[in-house]
Amino acid sequence: MSFFGFGQTADLELVLSDAESRRRAEHKTEEGKKEKYFLFYDGETVSGRVILTLKHPNKRLEHQGIKVEFIGQIELYYDRGNHHEFVSLVKDLARPGEFTQSQTFDFEFTHVEKPYESYTGQNVKLRYFLRATVSRRLNDVVKEMDIVVHTLSTYPELNSSIKMEVGIEDCLHIEFEYNKSKYHLKDVIVGKIYFLLVRIKIKHMEIDIIKRETTGTGPNVYHENDTIAKYEIMDGAPVRGESIPIRLFLAGYELTPTMRDINKKFSVRYYLNLVLIDEEERRYFKQQEVVLWRKGDIVRKSMSHQAAIASQRFEGTSSQTESRPPSQPSENNGRQ
C-alpha cells in the first residue's frame, strides 16, 4: 500500500514569523469576493516556517526533498496554461530521505524584490505567494499561501493642472479644468467647468471614473473598460458664463495605482470622462487620463479638511487665504 502512495500522508502549513504583528489588506479574488491577506512592500524580508505534520504516527514518509518557494507571477485568463513568473526564489529545506515524526523547517527570503502591485482584474491576475512542496514519487504534497503587495510612491515632482477647451462649432463651447493630473488613492479631485457658449439644451452632466485594462500584445490585445464611479455635477440647463464646481472624493471607490506595461503583459489606466446629455438624449463626452498613485500611511486629516485645502489652492479665493500655510486653514474653509 505504501508503494502505491496510499500509506503515510502528511499535511503542510505555512506560518509567517511576524504573523501576529503584520498588517493585513483586503484584496479582491477572481470571484469578486474580498479577502484579507498579509501585506508586504518591496524590499521587505519574507520569513517563517513550514510545518510538516504526519497523519499516521510511527509510519515512514519517504520523500525526494522538501523546498519552499517565493513566486511572483502574472496569469492571463485567456492563456491560463502559461504562468509568467517575474520573481522565483527557492530554498531547499531537506534532502531526499524519510521521516517518522512531524517536522518544522525555518526559512527566510531576505529583502525580496517585489516590483509590482498585486492586482486582480477582468482578464489578468498578478499574484505573489509562498509554496511549500514535499516531493514524492507519485504525488507531491503542496501548500500555497498568497500575500498582497502594495507599491508606494512619493509625491510627484511635477503635477500640473489639466485645462482643456472642447465643443461643437457654433453650438457648444466649454472649458474644464482639474487642479492636478496625478492623484493619490485617497485624494480629492477639485475642478471647474465654464460654459462659454451654449446653444443646445443640456439637461444633465456627470463625470465618470473609467478604468481601462489592456492585456496582451500585438494582434492579441484586449481592452476592458470598467466604469468605477458616476458623479453627477449638474442637473438642468446651464447658461453662458455659468461656472460649475467639481469636488470628487476618491477614497470611497475601489481604485488601484496606475500600472503601465507591467512586465510587458498588461496595463491599467484611469480616465476622467466628462459627459453631457441634451434633451434629445444625445451624449457629448471628453476623456482625460489621470495618474493614480499610492502613498504611505500618514496622519490623516478629515476628508472635508482635504477638500477645503485642495479647493483653496485651486481657486485662489483671496491673497490672505493663499498666504496661510496649508496646515492652518481658516475655520470657515475647514468646515466647507
If you average pLDDT over residues 144-161, what whole number do you get? 89
267 Rama sector, left if φ>0, alpha if ψ -120 to 50, beta otherwise: beta
Write down the pLDDT at residue 122.
92
Is residue 73 in some structural domain? yes
Domain residues for the domain of 228 are 162-296
To 5 degrees, how large is the angle CA 75–CA 221–CA 146? 15
Is residue 178 in some structural domain? yes
Closest CA to 143 of 220, 52, 234: 52
Q: Are residues 131 and 167 in the same domain?
A: no
Q: Dump pLDDT digits (tens) for 243-273.
A: 888 899 999 999 999 999 999 999 999 999 9
Q: Are residues 170 and 286 in the same domain?
A: yes
Q: Are residues 166 and 292 in the same domain?
A: yes
- pLDDT category, 327, cuts 50, 70, 90? very low
Give the percent of the chain with pLDDT over 90. Answer: 49
Contact 41, 117 (CB under 8 A): no
Q: Are residues 145 and 167 in the same domain?
A: no
- pLDDT category, 7, cuts 50, 70, 90? low
| Domain termination site, one of 119, 149, 179 | 149
Give the percent of the chain with pLDDT over 70. Answer: 86
If you average pLDDT over residues 134-139, what whole number do you get? 87
The phi, psi pair for 97, rounded to 5°, reads 175, -145
Q: How far apart are CA 325 and CA 122, in angstroms?
A: 43
Write down the pLDDT at residue 190.
93
Question: What pTM did the predictor assign?
Answer: 0.80
Is residue 43 in some structural domain? yes
Q: Is 208 helix (H, G, I), strand (E, B) or coil?
A: strand
Q: Are residues 19 and 57 in the same domain?
A: yes
Q: Are residues 30 and 115 in the same domain?
A: yes
Query: What's 110's domain CATH number?
Result: 2.60.40.640
pLDDT(112) > 90: yes
Closest CA to 129 of 139, 140, 115, 118: 118
| Domain termination site, one of 97, 115, 149 | 149
Contact 91, 110 (CB under 8 A): no
Strands 283-293 and 182-184: parallel
Contact 229, 273 (CB under 8 A): no
The residue ranking higher by pLDDT, 111 or 176, is 111
- pLDDT category, 331, cuts 50, 70, 90? very low
Is residue 105 in some structural domain? yes
Is residue 312 in some structural domain? no
Q: Are residues 168 and 144 in the same domain?
A: no
If you average pLDDT over residues 302-331, what whole number do you get? 45
- Return mean pLDDT, the chain: 83
Query: Which residue is it, cell 485662489?
Result: 316
Write down the pLDDT at residue 170.
75
Write down the pLDDT at residue 308.
55
If you average pLDDT over residues 155-163, what whole number do you get? 83
Q: How far apart are CA 75 and CA 143, in angstroms?
A: 19
Q: Are residues 87 and 207 in the same domain?
A: no
pLDDT(335) > 50: no
Is residue 155 in some structural domain? no
Q: Which run of H or E residues covers position 164?
A: strand 162-168
Write down the pLDDT at residue 81.
77
Is residue 192 in some structural domain? yes
Q: What share of the chain is helix, strand, coil (3-state, %, to 5)?
A: 5, 55, 40
Please tell me which of 139-153, 161-175, 199-213, 218-232 the model is most confident about, judged by mean pLDDT: 139-153
Q: Dump pLDDT digits (tens) for 51-89.
A: 999 888 778 888 899 999 999 999 998 887 788 999 999
Number of folded domains that form the chain = 2
Write down the pLDDT at residue 99.
86
Q: Are residues 122 and 38 in the same domain?
A: yes
Q: Please name every residue paired with 289 in a beta bridge, in sequence order, or none if there are none.
A: 271
If you average pLDDT over residues 10-18, what whole number do you get? 93
If you average pLDDT over residues 131-157, what whole number do you get? 90
pLDDT(319) > 50: no
Is residue 2 in some structural domain? no
Q: Are residues 168 and 247 in the same domain?
A: yes
Q: Are residues 113 and 86 in the same domain?
A: yes
Contact 37, 83 (CB under 8 A): no
| Domain termination site, one of 126, 149, 172 | 149
- pLDDT category, 50, cuts 50, 70, 90? very high
The residue ranking higher by pLDDT, 272 or 219, is 272
Q: Which run of H or E residues covers position 313?
A: helix 303-315
Q: Are residues 286 and 261 in the same domain?
A: yes
The residue ranking higher by pLDDT, 102 or 171, is 102
